[in-house]
Amino acid sequence: MQCFAHTDVEAIGSCSNCGRGICNNCSIEVGDRLKCRNCVKISGSSQQIKNPGLAAVLSFFFAGLGQIYNGQMAKGLILMAVDILNFFLLFILIGFITGLITKIYAISDAYNTANRINSGEIKD
C-alpha cells in the first residue's frame, strides 16, 4: 500500500478514521491509533494533542505540573498544595512516604490522562 499523499512512498499503515494509506510524514499517533493529518485537522481542531512523556516529566519535577499541562487546573493546584505540605512533613519523617506516594500518583495520572485526551476518551 502506498501513501495517499506521497504515491512514491510505502505506507506504514492506514488512517483509523478514513482508511487511507499514510506514511511517516503524513501520520499522527493519536492515543494508540494512526490518523492522517487531514482527519486530525477536521476532527480535532479544537483539541490539542498532549505529550504523555512531557506530562509525566513535568509531574516528576513538581507534582501537579503535568495535570496543569493536561488542562486539569484544579487537580494540578491541589497536587501542588499536597506536595508543599509533604515538604513540611519531611521534618517529622512521614513526608518521605507521603511525598513518594504523591509523586508516583501525579506522574502516572499525568501520563494516563494525556493518553486518554489523545484517544478522545476525555476532552482537555
What are 65-89's pLDDT values in tens digits?
Answer: 999 999 999 999 999 999 999 999 9
Upper half-sphere CA count for residue 61 (Cβ side, 13 Å):
8
Taking the whole predicted model, whether its pTM rises above 0.75 is answered as no
Position 116 scores a pLDDT of 85
d(CA 11, CA 109): 34
Position 123 scores a pLDDT of 64
Q: Which three cell numbers stand for residue 107?
A: 506522574
Report residues of the chain scoring pLDDT below 70: 31-32, 41-47, 120, 123-124
Q: Which three cell numbers stand for residue 104?
A: 508516583
